[in-house]
Amino acid sequence: MIYLDNAATSFPKPEEVYRAVDKCLREYSANPGRSGHRMALRAGREIYETRELICKLFNIENPMQIIFTYNATDSLNLAIKGLLKRGDHVITSSMEHNSLIRPIKALEEIGVENTIVQCKEEGLIRVNELRSSIKDNTKLIALSHASNVAGTLMPIKAIGKIARAKNILLLLDAAQTAGVYRIDVKKMNIDLLAVPGHKGLMGPQGTGILYLRKGIELRHIKEGGTGSKSESLLQPEIIPDRYESGTPNTPGIVGLGAGIKFILDTGIDKIREHEEELTAYMLKKLKEIDKVKVYGIKNAKQQASVISINIGDLDSSEVSYILDKAFDIAVRSGLHCAPLAHKTLGTFEQGTVRFSMGYFNKKEDIDNAINAIKRICEEMD
């Protein structure tokens, strides 16, 4: 199968990830932070090593400011619901994933206001509009680094500067960029960073990260066993325990560590350049096909390796079905959990067929996808 659905979950993983998960399950998948025996201590140490690798990747100072979650959705829920209170205002954009928009909309019920800044048709945010929607009670700007529908990269550095100057917190959803684009929480003024482990970081599913800048306090949205302060009936104050209740996904976190190590060893720029090259190549080839409409900014330097298209007025789900069944090509179709993004791009009715490339894709994969698209176009005549 030609896998072009890396924006959903990356596949395959580096060999090191499979080996690390296997080794953990066989040799030390005891319960970390609970028991005092050697296997449990080793599991705890390995988890801590993954925290250190995350620090290296995002220029985070303290490994204890990293909270392990189960996916980006889990991280975004904790960040948004843990931070915002009645009377607060949050700004977001019309290109967001439901994992960010839905927690924000859910908070309307308790009196948290929101502004959804309408992006341009190609998906780019209007920075001036974002600036002018700041109010006295604006506590948070919550945005994705790149759209999961059209790949559009947002000007996060500029937005980070605005947020810092106005004393507003910035939550970045890096679901489509972490592991491929340089993210420096200090230089970019990122206060909270939500990242899935199973996409660009090349880890297993069931892993996610929330980075929390020192000094920011969140309400814990779940309580339970942490292995610390067992004498107390109340959730401990210490971070990350405060937000990490229950047995963690040790094999997943260890696999995530192996994925990040692979990225650091390979070099993030090399990964980005490869994905950028594939994106530029596919955009160029798509341009040559009359019946294909490509959405978004259509420039590999300004978008992550995500390309959304339609073929004439064919239903996007039908196209992805044909690609899978007749050509053995895996893509995603429909609304990609981002209805407002599709309204922005003008694709709410039809949805789009999304091709998303990863580090392990090759030019031949793009050639095969292009040939398949051409064949589908021919069949339409």
Ligand X SMILES: Cc1ncc(COP(=O)(O)O)c(C=O)c1O
Residues of this chain that interact with ligand X (CB under 6 A) are 8, 71-73, 97, 99, 144, 148, 173, 175-176, 196, 208
Identify each DSSP E strand in the chain by its residue range: 2-3, 66-69, 89-93, 113-117, 138-144, 169-173, 192-196, 208-212, 292-294, 306-311, 329-330, 332-334, 352-356
Is the separation of the CB atoms in 339 and 98 below 8 Å? yes
Which is nearer to ligand X, 51 or 198 (by Cβ)? 198
Q: What's the min distance (Å) between Cβ of 178 and ligand X? A: 10
* Exposure b/e, 168-182, CB count within 10 A at least 16 = b: bbbbbbbbbbbbbbe
What is the SS3 assignment for 79-144? HHHHHCCCCCEEEEECCCCHHHHHHHHHHHHHCCEEEEECCCCCCCCCHHHHHHCCCCCEEEEEEE
Nearest-approach distance from CB 4 to ligand X, in angstroms: 14
Beta carbon of residue 212, minimum distance to ligand X (angstroms, whole number): 18
Q: How far is the CB of 96 from ligand X (least distance, A)?
A: 7
Cβ atoms of residues 145 and 174 within 8 Å: yes
**Angle (nearest 5°) at CA 103 between 100 and 108:** 125
Give the nearest distance from C-beta 146 to ligand X in angstroms: 7
Ramachandran angles phi, psi of 110, nearest 5°: -100, 15
Nearer to ligand X, 43 or 249 (CB): 249
Minimum distance, C-beta of residue 10 to ligand X, in the bound complex (Å): 11
Quick one: 106 or 326, whose CB is closer to ligand X? 106
